[in-house]
A = this chain, B = another copy of it.
Amino acid sequence: MGILIKNCNLISMAESREKYEPGMDILVEDKTITKIGKNLTTPENAEVIDAAGKIVMPGFINTHSHIAMSIFRETLDGYSLQDWLEKKIWPMEDKLTPEDIHDASLLSFVEMVKTGTVMANDQYFLPENSIRAAGLIGVRLMTTRTVFDLSNNPDKMLAEQEELIKKYYKGRCGYEKIYLNVGIHGLYTTGKDTVEKVVAIAKKYDVPVHMHFCENEQEVKDIKKNYGVESPVDVLEKYFSDVHTILAHVVKVSDEEIDRLAKLNVSVAHCPVSNMRLGCGIAKIQQMLDKGINVSLGTDGQGSGSNLDMFDSMKFAALLQKGEFENAGYMDSYEVLKMATINGAKALGVADEIGSVEEGKSADIIIVDLSTPVCQPVGNVFSDLVYNAKGSNVCMTIINGKVVMRDGVVEGCVLKTNYKKCADIIARIS
């Protein structure tokens, strides 16, 4: 058993390896990368994959998403954000059934593995239905029962959040690719009592916290008012100093606040496409990277982020910094690839398992074919991946040693049926 990938051009993203290694073989045994080298011997019964001329690299890690929101793709235009949420999305979400969440999540997971993403960090509700869909496709999923104070019973949410952790924590469900964190919607919607309880759960189970943070000006104002503070970072310093916190967006922060964030145990999940779509503005990502903050990439939900193709996120992440700050030297392409892979693994606390292609790590690998006119000739290969490749250039996605997408075909989902189900859901609840 096992897989031998032959003769690939390896971009391992491991610090211990060269950035680009042509002509490499990679041996996968069971779930693990056991050997990387030239001209490896084919073990008995191994599947041999000829990757000559193709790129092998770690699969992408999407550190901020709302997985079941595939059905809300392109429903935003013509609405302000607040109107879209209040008049359109929230009334529709009230009508969603557990099976709807499953079917909508299934579409997102197919979208993910077809475009080279192996793991997502999710915030939504009824997460066990997304977990079930993740199992069908074979993707890694970090999820939570999101908590907030507004219009609901936070203690009930907290109990559900802890129950979910107990049930799935460290592979207890028998499905080892499910990870938990404790999600708070945001500090503008969650007060200090609930925050203290959430942080206690995070510490008890040693899981990260995941929240929206400083996405736009209004949110910053609301946090200041909600907590009576001068800066949203005051709240992080006071309540979140002992836990690792994944902050989605972080658009509206000052230079001084970035310096303070750099001293905290936080990762930033940069969602450039969503930030632009919602008119939030452009986060100071190069500055954060320069200060040593771990910045990863997220797509956000399809409602605002349009899709889960991390190639789009890489291209926007790179170009927004160069253009906005009028510095073509910003955002080295290899650093952008790190944001989409190993930095994501660090953000989610799974860098010992995935995020780079190296011996001993899980085989979460994508094969990318750059032989399309849009990518030829290949100049700087890292830049070709960031600026020209798209999800459609990914010809194989392997997760935990298993091929989950091959030449565009994903096992575990009949696409036509799923498309119809998703279209029917949005038609029914609209």
Contacts and interface: CB of A to CB of B under 8 A. Distances in A.
Interface of A: 70-78, 80-81, 107, 110-111, 114-115, 216, 273, 275-282, 306-309, 312, 315-316, 319-320, 322-330, 332-333, 371-384, 387-388, 390-392, 415, 419, 422-423, 426
Please indicate which of the listed interface residues A332, A373, A390 has the most CB atoms of chain B within 10 Å of its own CB: A373
Nearest to A107: B373
B308 A81 contact: no
A6 to B, nearest CB: 20
Given A77-B383, A323-B282, A379-B75, A388 B277 contact: no
A376 B277 contact: no
Contacts of A278: 322, 328
A320 B315 CA distance: 13
Given A377-B426, A390-B392, A280 B326 contact: yes
A422 B320 contact: no
A312 B277 CA distance: 15
Contacts of A316: 316, 319
A322 B277 contact: yes
A324 B316 CA distance: 13
Nearest to A281: B326
Contact of A380 (B77, B323, B327): B77
Contact of A374 (B71, B309, B322): B309
A424 B277 CA distance: 41
Contacts of A282: 323-324
Contacts of A322: 276-279
A80 B328 contact: yes
A250 to B, nearest CB: 15
Nearest to A381: B74
Nearest to A420: B377
One complex includes copies of this chain to the number of 2
A100 B258 CA distance: 49
Please indicate which of the listed interface residues A114, A278, A280, A326 has the most CB atoms of chain B within 10 Å of its own CB: A326
Contacts of A273: 319
A387 B307 contact: yes
Given A377-B419, A426-B379, A74 B388 contact: yes
Please indicate which of the listed interface residues A78, A282, A319, A333 has the most CB atoms of chain B within 10 Å of its own CB: A319
Nearest to A415: B373
A319 B415 contact: no
Contact of A320 (B71, B308, B323): B323
Given A279-B328, A426-B379, A77 B333 contact: yes
A279 B373 contact: no
The 8 closest A-B pairs by CB, nearest first: A74-B379, A276-B323, A276-B319, A279-B328, A111-B373, A306-B387, A392-B392, A74-B383
Contacts of A275: 323
Contacts of A276: 319-320, 322-323
A373 B77 contact: no
Nearest to A307: B374
A74 B326 contact: no
Nearest to A110: B373
Contacts of A70: 376-377
Nearest to A312: B315
Given A319-B277, A324-B324, A422 B390 contact: no
Given A74-B380, A77-B380, A277-B322, A374 B391 contact: yes
Please indicate which of the listed interface residues A75, A307, A380 has the most CB atoms of chain B within 10 Å of its own CB: A307
A373 B137 CA distance: 14
A162 to B, nearest CB: 34
A115 B374 contact: yes
